[in-house]
């Protein structure tokens, strides 16, 4: 889950800007002065400077114009469940204004970030905000240990474990497990498993693993199954995605896509 804090061009940071110590890191974003817009397959999302997102079952594309300084924070779903004033199921597949889930104090943070003289000062402000949000978290919304264990099993299996086996590991019924996943993570175990399995497939394809070997390693029935699932979640076939990404060693073994 992502929290993108955009705060306008502001003062230029001192030093290099290639991700080194004094410049923007991987968490920094470029975007439009009016903020990024985008969505699933052309779906319109209103322009915004900052945004918070739940877990997504499909890729979301954002367009930009001009420049925008910002910081992106990746949150574990159970952390977002505690600090956001919203249900994770309501945030799934959506993009919202962070003010809606963190309160009006979020605007003060963006103003302070824009006024800060350099990136170390900005990162210090973000760290302080994270500590403040954590201290004021809804402690009653902490996930049960069994739920975190189920998440871990799902990730370690690369999305191949069945919901039945996952429920058995927790001692809960499948329905109870699905309800808890939806409430605290935003998605059911089955939908999360699709994302996790696809992410593994993407990593393998990017590193040059053949489509057939990737399909087998990730538990797809065949290459066509992998292509269909990739297209459904990403919005384009794997070969087109890899070509657009400029991936070296592009596999030439595609039967479809």
Summarised one tens digit per residue, pLDDT across range 216-252 is 999 999 999 999 999 999 888 888 888 887 755 444 4
47, pLDDT greater than 60: no
- Summarised one tens digit per residue, pLDDT across range 134-147 is 888 766 677 778 89
Q: Look up tokens 């930009």; give the residue.
A: 64
What pLDDT, on the 0 to 100 scale, is given for residue 142? 74
What pLDDT, on the 0 to 100 scale, is given for residue 242? 85
What pLDDT, on the 0 to 100 scale, is given for residue 173? 95
What pLDDT, on the 0 to 100 scale, is given for residue 19? 35
Please give the distance of CA 149 from its chain centroid, rounded to a whole number.
20
48, pLDDT greater than 70: no
In 3D space, the residue among 167, 247, 169, 165 whose CA is nearest the CA of residue 214 turns out to be: 247
34, pLDDT greater than 90: no
Most confident of 51-65, 136-150, 159-173: 159-173
What pLDDT, on the 0 to 100 scale, is given for residue 193? 94
Least confident stretch, 1-10, 73-82, 194-203: 1-10
DSSP labels for the chain?
-EEEEE--S-SPPSS--SSSTTS--TT-----TT--EEESTT------SSEEE---SS--EEE--S---EEEEE--HHHHHHHSSS-HHHHTT-EE-HHHHH-THHHHHHHHHHH-SSHHHHHHHHHHHHHHHHHTS-GGGPPPHHHHHHHHHHHHTTT-S-HHHHHHHHTS-HHHHHHHHHHHTSS-HHHHHHHHHHHHHHHHHHTT--HHHHHHHTT-SSHHHHHHHHHHHHSS-HHHHHHHHT-SS-----S--
Mean pLDDT (the chain, rounded)? 79
Q: Look up tokens 């994770």; give the residue.
A: 88
Please give the distance of CA 62 from its chain centroid, rounded to a whole number.
13
254, pLDDT greater than 50: no
25, pLDDT greater than 60: no
20, pLDDT greater than 50: no
Contacts of 119 (CB under 8 A, 6+ apart): 13, 14, 22, 23, 24
Q: What is the mean pLDDT of residues 58-70?
A: 72
What pLDDT, on the 0 to 100 scale, is given for residue 1? 84
Q: What is the mean pLDDT of residues 158-185?
A: 93
Confidence of residue 7 (pLDDT cuts 50, 70, 90): confident
């Amino acid at each position: 889950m992502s929290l993108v804090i955009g705060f306008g061009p502001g003062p230029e940071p001192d030093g290099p800007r290639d991700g080194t110590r004094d410049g923007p890191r991987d968490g920094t974003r470029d975007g439009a002065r009016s903020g990024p817009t985008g969505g699933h397959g052309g779906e319109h999302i209103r322009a915004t400077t900052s945004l918070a997102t739940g877990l997504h079952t499909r890729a979301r594309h954002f367009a930009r114009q001009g420049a925008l300084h910002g910081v992106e924070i990746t949150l574990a779903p159970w952390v977002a469940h505690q600090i956001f004033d919203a249900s994770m199921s309501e945030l799934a597949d959506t993009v919202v204004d962070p003010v809606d889930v963190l309160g009006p104090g979020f605007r003060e943070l963006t103003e302070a970030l824009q006024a800060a003289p350099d990136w170390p000062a900005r990162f210090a402000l973000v760290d302080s905000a994270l500590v403040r949000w954590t201290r004021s978290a809804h402690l009653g919304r902490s996930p049960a240990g069994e739920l975190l264990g189920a998440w871990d099993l799902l990730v370690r299996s690369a999305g191949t474990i069945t919901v039945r086996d996952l429920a058995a590991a927790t001692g809960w019924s499948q329905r109870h497990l699905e309800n808890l996943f939806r409430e605290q993570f935003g998605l059911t175990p089955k939908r999360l498993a699709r994302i996790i399995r696809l992410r593994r497939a993407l990593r393998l394809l990017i590193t040059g693993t053949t489509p057939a070997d990737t399909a087998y390693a990730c538990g797809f029935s065949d290459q066509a199954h992998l292509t269909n699932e990739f297209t459904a979640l990403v919005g384009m076939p794997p070969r087109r995605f890899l070509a657009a990404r400029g991936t070296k060693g592009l596999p030439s073994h595609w039967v479809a896509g």
